Structure 1
C-alpha cells in the first residue's frame, strides 16, 4: 500500500509527545521518507484539518458527513478529555461534530476512530487489543446496528457480533450483487451457531444442508436472473409478520427459545426496476440475525409466499419423535406421525380459501386425536392436546375458520369431564374466549351499536374468566385487558382496581410489571418525576437537568399517526414558550432506529429524545405503564407533574400558568 494511502486508514497512535511540527513530517511521509505511523507517534500539536479529514472508515459502505476542502478553514479541532480517555474532536462549519479520534486506555495512542452524520455518530473503528490495527467496526444510531469483527486485522470483516434482521438481508443482497461469497456466508447460519442454540439434530442437518455450497448456489441463482446484478441496491426488508415469532424451547426444536422471522422478502432495485428476492426464515443467534437458506430471486409477478419454513413448521414428527424413544413409537403412532408430517408439509397459505383451511384443520384434529389416544404418558397427552388447542385457536384468528370455536368448546368440555383439575382447562377456556371474540368482532365491524354491545360482553367474559381461574397464567393477560379497556373508556378508578389486582396476584409477570407502571403513571399528578435514559446519540438525558423549566414529556413513535398529527401544534407551542422556560423531552419507542432520524429531519421535532429500542417493552415505557402513544406528561418548574395525561388543548391552557 502506498504510504500516502495510509492517511485514510486508522493505523497508529496520535498522542505521543514531541516538539516537531506537522508540516515537515507530512511532507516526509508523502515522499516515502518516513511512515505515517511515525508521523502520528511523534506529533504533539493538534493535527491540521486536512489530515484529520483525510481519515476514512476501514469499511466501504459508510455514509458519513464530509466537508468540501474549501470549507476546511471553517472547521475546528479541539482537545477533549474524559477520565483517562483523551482525544480530538473535529467540528464542521456549523459546529456539528464530524470526527472523534480517541485514546481510551491512556497509552497516548489512538484506538477509536468515530465518524458522524448531522451530529450523530454513525460508525466507529476500534483497536480493542491496542496494537495499532483496527479489529472491530460498528455502525451506530442512524447508521444501523452492525458490529463486525476483523479477526486477522486485514480490513475485511470475518463475522458479525451484532446485526439486525433487516441488515442481514441487505448484506446478503449486496453479496450476491457483487459476487462476494464470503460476505454472504457471514450472514448464513453455521454449525457453531446451530450448536449454540442447541438446535435439534434433524433440524440442524436440514438447515445446514440449505446453506451448504453457498458460493456455487449463489453463482447459479445470479446467473439465471435479471433481478440481481451489478449495481443492485437493497431497498427494503419485508415479512408476512410485523414482528418475530418465539419458538419456545419446550417444543423440542432447540434447547433455548428461538426468535424467528418467517417468509422474509427483500425488495431490491436493479437498473431502475424493482424486484423481489425470497429470503425465507431469519433466525436470531445471540445478537446477530442469520439467514437459514440461500436467497432466491423471484421471477415474474407472482410472490412465492409459503406458510412455515423449516423452523416455523408446526411441531411435527421430525422433532416430536426426537422427544420419544424409538421403542415408545408403535406402528400405529408412526403412521399418525407420518400423516401429520405430510399434512403439515402442505399446510394452507394466507391466500388459501376458507374451505382449504377447514379441511386442513379438520384432518389435523383427527390425527392429533389419534395421537392423543395412543399416547403412553401424561406428558405426551398434554403435548398433543396443547398442539390441538393452539392450532384451532390460530386457525380462528385467520378469520376463515369460525368452526374452531365449537371445536375448542368441545375440547374444554371434555377436559372438564375427564380431567377436572387439569391446567389445560383454563388454557383452553381463554383461547376459546379469544377465538369467540374474534368471530363476533368480524360480524360487528360495520355496526357501531353491535360493537358497543360486544365490548360489554367481552368485559364480562374477561371478568368471569378471572373470577373462575384467578391463578391461571392467562389471568394476568385478562386482567391487563380489563384495566386497559377501562382506562381507555375514561374509567380511571375502575382501571386502577384491575391494575392493583394484577399486581397483587401476578407480580412477577410482564403484565404485572406494566400494571405497576400504570398505577404509578395514574397517580403522578402533584408528585416529582424521575426520568432518565440514553439519547438517540447514546448520551445520557435526565429530567433532573431541567429544574426551573416546564417540561413536556412525550412518549412517541414514527408509526404513530396521532403523534404526527399533533406535532405542528406542539412545535408552535414550543416556539412560542421556549424563551420563557419551556422544554420538551421525547421518549422514542421505535424498534427500527433507522427510521427515527429521517422522521425528525422531516418533521422538525429536534428536541432531545430518550431512545427505547425495545419499544413499548422498553424499561422506561414499562416503568410508566405506557400502553399507547402518544402519552404525554406536563412537568412544572419544580419537577412535579402538573398533568399525567396531557393533550394539546391541556398544554394551551396550562403552559401560561406554569410559566408565570
Structure 2
C-alpha cells in the first residue's frame, strides 16, 4: 500500500525528543504528493503553480503535552491545505485531512492502527457521508444521505465500479432488518449477479456522466403494521430523479441533460440505499411512474392472492395532489392573501380525497391533519370569513382529529392577533396561554397535550414565573414521561436545579472528535448553547463573549459551545463570519437533539458558568454582560492554588 507506506515515512522521528524542527524534514511538494485514495468526488484545494507551492509552509503538529504528532501544510496566506497526524499515540500517521477554503472537507483514517485505511468521510462543503474502506475500496457506509447516494451512484456508474455500486444497493438482509416481510423482500430485492452488466449498460446509455442534482418529492413513511408483516416504520423515496449531464467541449453547444429514474430508495439507519438500480430515461419523453416496489408489494401481500397489486384509488388521489402543488408553487410566494387562501382551500379537498382512499387508519388521520393545517392557513390570511366556524365544526366531532384541530386553531389565532397593526404581544401571549389551559381541560389526554404543557411551562419560565414553570414541567414528566416533550421537561427540571452541582458536558465536535468538559476541571468554564438561527440575541452576545474569553484566557477561563444548528453548513457559514475561537460540540437534531433535551433548552443563548471545581455557579446567564459580572466574582473567589499556572 504505497499511500500508507509513504505516509509512514513522513512519521519517522516523531518520537520522544522530536522538536518543531522536524517540519523541515519534509516539503510542501511531498505532502501535496499524498493523494486521497478516493479521487472521485473529493474536491479539495491544491496550489495551481510552482510559485504558490513554494510559498507553502510545513508545520509540526503537537498534542496537548507539546509532543509532535504529525504535520500541517499551509498556503502562503496561512490557510490549511493538509493535516496528517497520529491519533492513537503510536508511531505512524493514522489520519489524513484535506482542506478547502481553510475548512476540512475530506478525511481518511486508520482507526485500528494496523496501517490500513478503515474509513473515509466528507465534511463541511464536501458533504456528510462516512464510508468504510477495505483494501482502499469503499465497501460500505456509516452515513449517507439520499442526495449523496445519488451522486456517488453516478460517479460509480461512470467509473464502471461495480463494488462501489454494490455498496449503494440494499441487500435482502438489510431489507429484512429494516422490517419488511420475507415475501416482499423476495419480490423487491435486487440481484447482485447481474450488477456489472447493469452498470455497463447504464454507463453506455448515458456516456460521460457528471452528476447535476437529485430531485424527489418529500420522502414518505409507511408506519409499522404487524398485521401486514411490517415490523418497523419504513421511510422511502419513490420515483425520484437523478439529473446528469456530460461536460460540453469548449465552443460546443451545451450537452443534453440526461436523467436516471430512481424507482425506490430506503432509509436504513443513517444510510440511504437504492432498492434497485436507477434506470436511464429519455428527458424528451414523459416519465412513467414505476408501478412495482415496496409499497405496491405490501398492498399485494396484505390483499392476498385475490387482491390487486396496486391501490389505484390512492395513486390517483396522490397524483392529483402532487400535480396541484407543482402547478401552484408561485402562489405561496406571491404574497396575495386571497390567492393563498384559495390555494389552501382547494388543497383541503384534494387532501380529503387522499384520506378517503387511505386504507391504513394512521395514514388516513395523517392526511386529515394536513387538511386541517390547510384550513388554518387559509383562515390565517383573513380572507376566509367562515374559517373559524369550519374548524370548530371539526373540533365538535369526538376523536383525535378534534384535539388536533383545536390546538391548531389556538396557534393560528395567536399568529393572527400578533399580525394586527395595533396588536399587543404581552396581552396576546396571555390570551394564548389562557386558551392553552382551556385546551388541557377539554383534551387532557390528547396527543397534543404533552406539547401544550411544554409550551405553558416554557412560557412561564421565560416570563420569570419559575415556580409555575416547575409545576408545569413536573406535571408533564408525571403524565407524559416517554414523549419528546416529557423528556424535554425532565431536562428543564435538571437545568433548573444545576446550581451548586457538578456539570460535565460531553459530545461530538464539528470534526467528529469527542469534546468532554470534565477534562477541563481546574478552569473556569462557560458552556454556551446557541445556534445561528438564534436571532439577534445570539449575534449580539457571541462577539462580546469572544472579547471576554480573550481578556480572561490567562486567568484560566475557557468557553465551550454547544451548537444547535440542524445543518452543519449553517454552523460553518456562521463560523466563517464570526470565527468563534472555542471548541464546538455539534450533534444531530439541533434543538431536539440529545444535549438540548438533557438540559431542557428553551431559548438561545443559554449559558452555564462552572467554577474551577467543576460546579455550576450560575445556570441562567442570558447576556455577555451578565457573564462578565458573574465571571469576575467567580475568578475572585477561585483558590489561588488552582488559579496559578492555568493556561
Give yes or no for contact 1:279–1:295 (8 Å, CA) kept in 2.
Answer: yes
**Aligned mate of 1:250, from 216, 225, 232:** 225
Output the CA distance in 2 between the equivalents of 1:551 and 1:452.
Answer: 35
Output the CA distance in 1 between the equivalents of 2:445 and 2:365.
Answer: 20
Give the corresponding residue for 1:164. 145
**Aligned mate of 1:648, from 620, 624, 644:** 624
2:600 paired with 1:618: no
Alignment CA distance shift 1:584-1:346 (3 Å): same
Give the corresponding residue for 2:577. 602
Give the corresponding residue for 1:49. 26
2:376 paired with 1:393: no
CA deviation profile, 1:395-435 (whole Å, cap 9, x unmatched): 22235666998788667755x5xxxxxxxx3x333212234
**Aligned mate of 2:268, from 265, 285, 292:** 285
Alignment CA distance shift 1:362-1:518 (3 Å): closer
Give the corresponding residue for 1:100. 85
**Aligned mate of 2:96, from 108, 111, 114:** 114
> Which runs of 5 or more residues in structure 1 are unaligned?
1-5, 19-44, 224-228, 372-382, 417-424
Deviation at 1:612, TM superposition (A): 2.0
Give the corresponding residue for 2:604. 629
Residues 352-501 of structure 1: pairs in structure 2 closer than 5 A: 352=328, 353-354=343-344, 356-364=346-354, 383-384=360-361, 386-398=362-374, 416=398, 425=399, 427-437=400-410, 439-440=412-413, 443-444=416-417, 446-447=419-420, 449=423, 455-456=429-430, 458-501=432-475
Give yes or no for contact 1:10–1:134 (8 Å, CA) kept in 2.
Answer: no
Output the CA distance in 1 between the equivalents of 2:290 and 2:374.
Answer: 19
SS at 1:157 equivalent: strand
Give the corresponding residue for 2:120. 137
Give the corresponding residue for 2:107. 123
Alignment CA distance shift 1:121-1:388 (3 Å): closer
Alignment CA distance shift 1:507-1:99 (3 Å): same
SS at 1:571 equivalent: helix
Give yes or no for contact 1:558–1:599 (8 Å, CA) kept in 2.
Answer: yes
Output the CA distance in 2 between the equivalents of 1:79 and 1:442.
Answer: 53
Aligned length: 574
Give the corresponding residue for 1:505. 479
Give yes or no for contact 2:436–2:452 (8 Å, CA) kept in 1.
Answer: yes
Deviation at 1:502, TM superposition (A): 0.8
2:318 paired with 1:344: yes
CA deviation profile, 1:255-294 (whole Å, cap 9, x unmatched): 3223456897889996799999788775321331225673
Output the CA distance in 1 between the equivalents of 2:128 and 2:179.
Answer: 25
Give yes or no for contact 2:31–2:73 (8 Å, CA) kept in 1.
Answer: no
Cα RMSD after superposing both structures: 5.3
Output the CA distance in 1 between the equivalents of 2:57 and 2:24.
Answer: 13
Give the corresponding residue for 1:521. 495
Give the corresponding residue for 1:564. 539
Give the corresponding residue for 1:24. none
Residues 532-611 of structure 1: pairs in structure 2 closer than 5 A: 532-547=506-521, 549-562=523-536, 563-597=538-572, 599-611=574-586
CA deviation profile, 1:152-190 (whole Å, cap 9, x unmatched): x2x432443432334324324545676767655643545
CA deviation profile, 1:109-166 (whole Å, cap 9, x unmatched): x584533546969412438695x65465344677554333445x2x432443432334
2:38 paired with 1:59: yes
> Which runs of 5 or more residues in structure 2 are unaligned?
14-21, 329-342, 380-385, 637-647
SS at 2:423 equivalent: helix
Deviation at 1:208, TM superposition (A): 5.8
CA deviation profile, 1:486-517 (whole Å, cap 9, x unmatched): 33444333222211111122223322221111
Output the CA distance in 2 between the equivalents of 1:553 and 1:17.
Answer: 39
After superposing the two structures, state which structure 1 stretch, 479-488 or 354-363, moved more: 354-363
